[in-house]
Amino acid sequence: MQGRTLIDIVLARCQDLGLTGASGQVDASAVELMVLHVLQSLADSFDFDTLTKVVDPLFVTSTGQDTYALPEDFGRLLMPHDEEGSGLRCRSSATNEWALVYRDPLALRRQRSTTQTRPAYFTLLAGKQLLLDPPPDANGTTGYIGVGIYIHAITAELLEGEVPLNHPAALVDMTVARLAADKSHPQTPLLVGQAEQARGRSINANARTRQQFQSRTSRTWTRQHTRVR
C-alpha cells in the first residue's frame, strides 16, 4: 500500500467518525503526523523485517580513529537477543568476522583501552556517532570493515512510497484509534481494541514468517550434514 493511499484511508475513516475540526474537515497534517508517530511506536516495539537495513560497509577504520558517523537513516540497533545480538559486526578479512559487543557510554568510558588493536566493543553517541573500543590498529594496511544491520529511522520520506509494513492495515487502525482517543470519541474503547488486535496480527505474522524460514534453513542444514555423515 502506498503511503498516500494509507493516509487517505485514515482521513476517510476519521471523517466518517466525525473526528473533524471547526471547519468540518479532518486535519490532514495532524493525521500524517499521527501516522508517523504510530509507525515509530511499531518500529520501537519489534524488529520488523521490512524496516531492517543491512549496510556493508558501515564504516572502514583508520588507524587510531575510534569515532565514526552512522548513516542518516540509522534509527536504532536491533533488539539484542544475547550479548552479541546488536547487529553490528566487524571484519579484518573476507573470512574473519566477529560481532561487536555493546557497552553503555559510561561503562565504555570507564573501561576504554588506549592500545590500538582489533575493535571489540562499541557504544552510540549523540549525533549518530559510533565509538569503537579498543581504537583500531592498521590491520596491515586495509583497516577494519564494519557491517551494520539496524532498524531504519522513521521519517516522512517513508510515506512517499510503499508503506514499510507487511500489514499496513494495522497502521490504519492504530492511527484512527489514537486520533479518536485524542478527541475522547465515544467509540474509542472499541477502536483501541481493534487496533491492539491489528498490531498483534502484524507482529505475529512477521514472527511466523521468520520462524518458518529459520525452521526451513535448520532442516536443510540438518539434511545436508546427515548426508555427509
Q: For residues 87 and 21, state if they share a domain.
A: no
Give the per-residue pLDDT at 215.
55
Q: For residues 108 and 33, state if they share a domain.
A: no
Flag whether 229 is in a domain.
Answer: no
**Helix segments in the chain, DSSP class H:** 3-17, 28-45, 105-111, 169-182, 188-228
Least confident span in 77-91, 133-147, 167-181, 203-217: 203-217
Q: For residues 127 and 144, state if they share a domain.
A: yes
Q: pLDDT tens, 189-226?
A: 999 999 999 999 999 988 887 777 665 544 443 444 33
Q: For residues 22 and 89, state if they share a domain.
A: no
Grid cell in block for residue 225: 550434514
- Domain with 117, as residue range(s), is 52-152
Q: For residues 142 and 202, state if they share a domain.
A: no
Angle made by CA atoms 156, 205, 150, in degrees to the nearest 5: 45
Longest dimension (CA), the chain: 75
* Number of domains into which the chain is organized: 2
Q: pLDDT tens, 145-155?
A: 999 999 999 99
Q: For residues 110 and 34, state if they share a domain.
A: no
Give which of 63, 57, 45 is closest to 132, Cα–Cα: 63
Q: For residues 189 and 203, state if they share a domain.
A: yes
Q: For residues 44 and 57, state if they share a domain.
A: no
Q: For residues 129 and 72, state if they share a domain.
A: yes
For 118, which DSSP code? Answer: -
Cα 102 off chain centre by: 17
Q: pLDDT tens, 116-142?
A: 999 999 999 999 999 999 999 999 999
Q: For residues 67 and 8, state if they share a domain.
A: no
What would the mean pLDDT of 71-89 be, rounded to a whole number?
86
Residue 46: is its pLDDT beyond 60?
A: yes
pLDDT confidence band for 82 (50 / 70 / 90): low
**Among candidate residues 109, 127, 152, the one where a domain is terminated:** 152
Q: For residues 66 and 133, state if they share a domain.
A: yes
Number of H helices, E strands in the chain: 5, 9
Flag whether 189 is in a domain.
Answer: yes
Q: Indicate the average pLDDT of the chain.
A: 91
Residue 229: is its pLDDT beyond 70?
A: no
